[in-house]
Amino acid sequence: MRFGLSFTAALAAALAVVVSSPAEPGQLSSKRADAQRVLAEIGAMDMELDRAVEAYNYATVQLNRIDRDLAANRKRLATARTNLATAHKRVADRVLSLYTSEEPDTLAVILGASSLGDLIERIDSVNRISDEDARITEDVTRFRNEVRSRQQHLEQAQVQQRNVVAERADRRAAIEGQLAARQELLASIKDQISTLEAAERARQARLARQARQQVRSTQPSSSGGQQSSPPPADQPPSPSPGPSPSPPPPSTHGGVVGVALHYLGVPYRWGGASPSGFDCSGLLVYSFAKVGVYLPHSSYMQFHLGRYVPRSNLQPGDAVFFNGASHVGIYIGGGRFVHAPHTGDVVKISSLGESWYSSTYAGARRY
């Protein structure tokens, strides 16, 4: 999501060349300063938007869990009600049989006994049946009450979590509104930066060619190892885990790089996790699912999965995190990674050496 900040330095360099011309140097210098200021503001807003989007994703995952628990608990409550009705009917049938039998129950027991020992055994048997009926009814009633209590708790949690999701969605919308205003201002000077944008597109195309060539060169041959399947052509809380006590295992999911590179140029879409649009964590969810690894749609949650990887030991397929784990990408080798940066941008390749990524680097995980 850091196109804005890295773009500032490039913009300054490009406009510096223009300023060196004799035509209206004061005006161009002023525009250069305006562009730097606006782009810096956009970069800061992008960071806030990243945090808001991933906070929303995290809250949504939690809400989905509560919804699943509620659905399961409703089934348990239905079962408890059925069992309770069955137990009540069983007791009622036994009581009814005592009054409708041809002989009074106690008399039948006494007259049917062949001895005193037999009489005691018969009476004890009747009592045990009665006690068992009472115990079953008591157990089922207690289970029903526990399920009802859990249902009330989950319903309250659901309401609270929906409020959290709504609040975080509102926060995201507010930031996007501010960002749109800044982008409108930036559009007023787009004539001066159109050349630089064209240069950025050309640079991304060159990086994409290099990355794909790197993937092809590192794939195993047909005579050894299993080659990863190509992707389908459908469409183009603060983390602080320390290093693991032992080195991470070798990466076995380098094929995810080829999957992610297939979607270069796909637009950023908040909450997106499909080729119609991705946000940063959504790109990982979709790409890793293609190689059999299923991740939650939250960069914060993704940061706490897998094994810690030292920066010096990064391998293609590792997840790299920035800005307190509010942003994530997939390492492709050579100090570069592929990611979905921010609203208004597309899935692209960036370098760990760029100032923003270098200064906000939060760590890496291997799944």
Q: List the catalytic residues.
A: 280, 327, 339
Going by C-alpha positions, the residue among 78, 80, 237 that lies closest to residue 144 is 80
The Cα 64–Cα 270 span in angstroms is 18
**Could you give phi then psi for residue 338, rounded to 5 degrees?**
-110, 140
The Cα 176–Cα 163 span in angstroms is 20
Q: Which residues pair with 366 in a beta bridge?
A: 307
Going by C-alpha positions, the residue among 162, 198, 137 that lies closest to residue 66 is 162
Q: Which residues contact 320 (CB under 8 A, 6 or more apart)?
A: 314, 328, 329, 330, 331, 337, 352, 361, 363, 364
Distances (CA, A) of 224 to 215, 227, 258: 16, 9, 19
Alpha helices, H only, 299-347: 299-303
Distances (CA, A) of 283 to 73, 153, 202: 33, 35, 23
The Cα 45–Cα 49 span in angstroms is 6
**Could you give phi then psi for residue 209, rounded to 5 degrees?**
-60, -45
Q: Which residues pair with 320 in a beta bridge?
A: 329, 364
The Cα 8–Cα 32 span in angstroms is 10
The helix/strand/coil state of 62 is helix
- Write out the two tokens for 136: 């079953």
Query: Looking at residue 354, what DSSP letter applies?
Result: S
Strands (E), the chain: 273-274, 277-278, 307-308, 319-322, 327-333, 336-339, 348-351, 361-366
